[in-house]
Structure 1
């Protein structure tokens, strides 16, 4: 579907032509679309009282090639609308205290697998090239994405000398980006629920003719609409906690790709840092190292 916002309307328009079993599915989705979005076809069928094949035919009747496409459309529809309380209720339905470890790890494995399939390798290489050709690099990620932005900024700063992490709270975001211009690169990181200030910052960068990279979960993301390059990392999780495993993997890959082009420089840098870390006891060293010193 071109517009996921029309999904509910589509179901309503198709309702009169559906079979009895399909109408039960339609009624359930219209009332509980937030829960249905994270159900397998089999589980949705059990909840409604119809067969799994009826659920698949229902998806086909709506114009989807299969149930996974319908499920994805539902997830796109709700991901930015669920409140934290609603997400907490969902996590209680799908992840129990007994299976939290297994459930979350399996979900993260699926997120990485889906990211590997979805991410555009050509775009990834173009972003790496842009990092090297840009005069300055600004990185912004707010709310739960702050950790990702700080991680990316920490390592890029060890390799390059023109990286600035735009932080929320030190001063206004636009003041920190006051010098951004057409020779610069702005990397915005954001996942549902998308931070408004991050979107505003990317729009501001566009107005200054800067190149913009979005690291986000979908081409339909509001960050992607403000970007010249978009790196997709899936973050689906039926929980009140954002799944940032796949986004962090993409960021790791970006750091390593940049580092591989600057092998000699980072070797020199880390040799110098090792001496500093030892001299000032930055890290705890093993007994052999302590005895040697």
Structure 2
């Protein structure tokens, strides 16, 4: 029987997410499994019943109660309430966010808005810089540099990252394919990929189902995937050869992409430089023969 955590339970989704990630290594296998499912499918947790959620996650309903107790809650309904409150915040329209901003500061000047966004951008970049593993950046560069074709996968808010990478790859003479089409043949595109290619995927919570499905299709063809996401429990992390965890700060509900864009600007240049070194090494080997 799991011992209840003595610390107060997380009061919001961000705190809950952080607690789950921090305690992941110490969780029993079944609790870690349902915790991963909860963070990957937050909407389902908000709307579902204990029975339906347990069935989808292939665990017993009692496991949900055990997870709630492990995190310090009285029962599953208390844990579920956090997901429902998150859903209310997530579904705020842009108009509602603007209304909230006005209520917070009715006389907000353009310079104050800019200051808020600059602060969020700075926080995101500083956090990523402090947590970045240099070896992981080198690994991602190696995977992408050796790929014959790089497939770029992203939807909605994440799309600007791959759009910039596509522009940079084109200018640098690196072959790429945007895995997004107007005629809906994304699934078929994966059939052209193989182990000699690579994919770059981006998805943040709540994870875009199309992005996850496309990335899985490439992984099934043994195409190595480099990804950017925001949690160790992200579905992308499970089948990526190399992945970066980036948690962006927000201002008034509008989330930054600054740290992620910095990485998206770095990788094409790093890949181009790596390819030049590999080409020089190969030419040197041939000359020696």
Query: TM-score if structure 1 supplies the norm length?
Result: 0.59
Structure 1 pair 108/79, CA: closer, same or farther in 2 (3 Å)? Answer: farther
Q: Does the 8 A contact of 2:145 with 2:274 survive in 1?
A: no
Task: Spell out the pairing of 1:59-138 with structure 2 (5 A cutoff).
Answer: 82-85=89-92, 92=101, 97-98=108-109, 99-138=112-151
The partner residue of 1:181 within 182, 194, 198 is 194
Q: Secondary structure at 1:214's aligned position in 2?
A: strand
CA distance in 2 between counterparts of 1:135 and 1:147 reads 23
CA distance in 1 between counterparts of 2:87 and 2:243 reads 18
Task: Spell out the pairing of 1:167-178 with structure 2 (5 A cutoff).
Answer: 167-178=180-191
Task: Spell out the pairing of 1:40-51 with structure 2 (5 A cutoff).
Answer: none
Structure 1 pair 107/14, CA: closer, same or farther in 2 (3 Å)? Answer: same
**CA-atom RMSD in angstroms:** 3.7
The partner residue of 2:242 within 201, 220, 229 is 229
CA distance in 2 between counterparts of 1:77 and 1:235 reads 22
| Deviation readout 1:157-176 (Å, 9 max, x if unpaired) | 22234211111434231122
Q: Secondary structure at 1:206's aligned position in 2?
A: helix
Runs of 5+ unmatched residues, structure 2: 17-70, 73-81, 278-289
Structure 1 pair 173/103, CA: closer, same or farther in 2 (3 Å)? Answer: same
Which one is further off, 138-147 or 94-103? Answer: 94-103
Structure label with greater radius of gyration = 1
Question: Structure 1 residue 81: deviation in Å?
Answer: 8.2
Q: Secondary structure at 2:227's aligned position in 1?
A: strand
Tell me which residue corresponds to 1:247.
260
| Deviation readout 1:66-86 (Å, 9 max, x if unpaired) | xxxxxxxxx999878842308
Runs of 5+ unmatched residues, structure 1: 1-5, 19-25, 38-61, 64-74, 265-293
Question: Structure 1 residue 184: deviation in Å?
Answer: 1.6
- Number of aligned residues: 207
| Deviation readout 1:129-172 (Å, 9 max, x if unpaired) | 11121222101111111111111111112223421111143423
Query: TM-score if structure 2 supplies the norm length?
Result: 0.60
The partner residue of 1:159 within 165, 169, 172 is 172
Q: Does the 8 A contact of 1:108 with 1:243 survive in 2?
A: yes
Q: Does the 8 A contact of 1:138 with 1:164 survive in 2?
A: yes
Tell me which residue corresponds to 1:69.
none
Structure 1 pair 256/238, CA: closer, same or farther in 2 (3 Å)? Answer: same
Structure 1 pair 207/36, CA: closer, same or farther in 2 (3 Å)? Answer: closer
Q: Higher relative CO (CA 8 A, sep ≥ 6), structure 1 or 2?
A: 2
